[in-house]
Amino acid sequence: MSNLRLINQTTISSSQSSTTVNDIFSSDYDIYKIVVNDFLQAGATETAISMRYVNSAGSILTDSNYDYAFLTMKTGASFAEGRSENQAKLLWAAGYSGASPDTMCNVIYVFNPYSSSSYTFSLGQNFSSDFGTTYGTGWKSIGVYTQTSSVTGINLYDSDGAGAYDGGVIRTYGLRVDS
């Protein structure tokens, strides 16, 4: 049996601009792999998908304790750097939604989210269409939520208010360590 264990699969089948997947982080694992795929825009405008964490009460953590940095690698323009500290989200953590056949793909690793003695770190890679352009963009990103409070889930949402999405799949895996 693989040490990579599927914990949750969430399929988006209705129009929405915010999606919470909770109760996926626990004391069973320290490292999680989240695969976000095929977010389909509901309207004509592509939507930036950012990420926030969720606590065990189901509250989305919107305090200004997210730091991040990402390198964008564009097929049709110069590469660019993005960075910020003390923000209320991990900007573009899941790239952009798109219209079929032009959608998106993402892998995000989350480290120590359930621990109450560690910050929550993330490491991501994605490729999708860049908002407002005709070319594709890959992101390589790092992020940290600089609080030691335990988090139990994620919230993906349309962070630029460009429009809802109505399709997509979010799969969460735990990486088991056998002692």
Partner 1 sequence: MAGNLVQVNTATITSDTADVKLDGINTDDVYVVFASGVTISVNTAYLQLRVTKDVSGTTTTQTTSNYDYAAETLKSNTSFGTYANTNQTRKYVVAAQPISNDTTGENENFIFYLYNFNNSSEYSFVTCEEMIINSTNTALMGDMGGFVYTVAEAHNGFSISGDSCSISGGTFTLYKVI
Q: Which is nearer to partner 1, 103 or 150 (CB)?
A: 150
Q: Angle at CA 77, nearest 5°, toward 127 and 72?
A: 40
Residue indicated by tokens 């799949």: 169
Residue 126 to residue 109: CA distance in whole angstroms: 12
Is residue 111 a contact residue for partner 1 (CB under 8 A)? yes
β-pair partners for 125? 107, 140
Give the contacts of 116 (CB within 8 A, at least 6 positions apart): 148, 149, 150
Sheet containing strand 66-74, edge to edge, reads 4-12, 165-175, 31-41, 104-111, 120-129, 136-145, 66-74, 80-87
- Which of 6-14, 53-61, 134-142, 155-163 is the region at the interface with partner 1 (rule: CB under 8 A)? 134-142
Q: Would you count residue 146 as binding partner 1 (CB under 8 A)?
A: yes
| Distance of closest approach, residue 91 Cβ to partner 1, in angstroms | 11
Compose the 68-107 pattern: x for residues touching partner 1 by CB under 8 A, - for all others.
xxxx---------x-xxx----------------------
For residue 7, is it left (φ>0), alpha (ψ between -120 and 50) or beta? alpha
**For partner 1, which stretch binds (CB under 8 A), given 36-44, 47-55, 93-101, 108-116?**
108-116
Nearer to partner 1, 18 or 64 (CB): 64
If one asks whether residue 169 binds partner 1 (CB under 8 A), the answer comes out as no
The footprint of partner 1 (CB under 8 A) covers 2-4, 30-31, 67-71, 81, 83-85, 109, 111-112, 115, 117-119, 121, 123, 140-144, 146-148, 175-179
